[in-house]
Structure 1
Amino acid sequence: MLTAEELNEILKQEEMFNFIGIRFEKLEKGYSRLSFNFDKKLTRIGNILHGGVIFSAVDYAGSMAIRTLDDVKDGVTAELKINFLKPMKDGPFVVEARVISEGKRLVVVDISAYDGNGNLCAKALGTWVVYR
């Protein structure tokens, strides 16, 4: 399994990763945690984090959580549902993803996004198709 530092280095090739400023902090089997700072360019009118940015960070976290599983070479998001619970305006933001069900081809992940005050601001459930 890659370390968080190795993963961050690889993902620097992706423009979205760099635009948001994501940094993975922790990777364990079936788990990932990332963070990113508040930046005005990531906000919508009202100076709160844009929903698309939150969704992208949630997708990154879920995607990397499934890649920590045994024999998973790659995976693609099949479905991702998100509930936006509170505005995200105070960083740094943290997103945690945990695998809750693992099948041969489908993996379900529970994902939570928090603001800098530790408030749960978004809750997501996603399904990934995995390639072993």
Structure 2
Amino acid sequence: MLISPEELNERLKQEDVFNFIGIRFEKVENGYSLLKFDFDKRLTRLGGMLHGGIMFSAMDYAGSMAVLSLSEVKDEVTAELKVNFLKPMNKGPFTVEAKVVNKGNKLVTVQIYAYDGDKELCAVGLGTWSIYRF
């Protein structure tokens, strides 16, 4: 399923989490996605930095759409996602980039990178998605 970022954003507006975070997909290509979202105090933990669960969710969205952009994939579900948080994130807009690094018959592996508004790498993820083929 390869659709434009605009169509994808419109479709995902049905999901409350997507709306709450304020995610905007800017690029979706074969095995790749890039999204952004702004800093919002409602997304922070004590101390004023972005809550790790919010970044985890954004990274999951990015990985999922990178997988779903593969031509042979009908649907996908996250099987596993590991995130290493490297630096506090308190300046947006935040950018999350996901790239498929391995495609199997039933599983796809994705590398995910999260950057703050200064373009500093702040989190790295590696995930596996179960796929349903056409």
TM-score, normalised relative to structure 2: 0.98
Equivalent-residue separation in structure 2 for 1:73 and 1:5 (angstroms)? 19
Offset of residue 52 of structure 1 = 0.3
User: What amino acid is the match of 1:129?
Assistant: S
Give identity over the alignment, percent. 66
> Which residue of structure 2 aligns with residue 24 of structure 1?
25
Equivalent-residue separation in structure 2 for 1:7 and 1:98 (angstroms)? 17
TM-score, normalised relative to structure 1: 0.99
User: What amino acid is the match of 1:29?
Assistant: N
Tell me the number of residue pairs that the alignment of Structure 1 and Structure 2 aligns: 132
Q: CA RMSD in A?
A: 0.4
Moved over 3 A (4+): none
> Which residue of structure 2 aligns with residue 103 of structure 1?
104
Equivalent-residue separation in structure 1 for 2:35 and 2:55 (angstroms)? 12
User: What amino acid is the match of 2:52?
Assistant: G
User: What amino acid is the match of 1:86?
Assistant: K
Offset of residue 70 of structure 1 = 1.6
> Which residue of structure 2 aligns with residue 50 of structure 1?
51
Equivalent-residue separation in structure 2 for 1:104 and 1:23 (angstroms)? 30
Does residue 8 in structure 1 map to residue 6 in structure 2? no
User: What amino acid is the match of 1:79?
Assistant: E
Unaligned 5+ segments in structure 1 are none
Equivalent-residue separation in structure 2 for 1:16 and 1:50 (angstroms)? 14
Unaligned 5+ segments in structure 2 are none
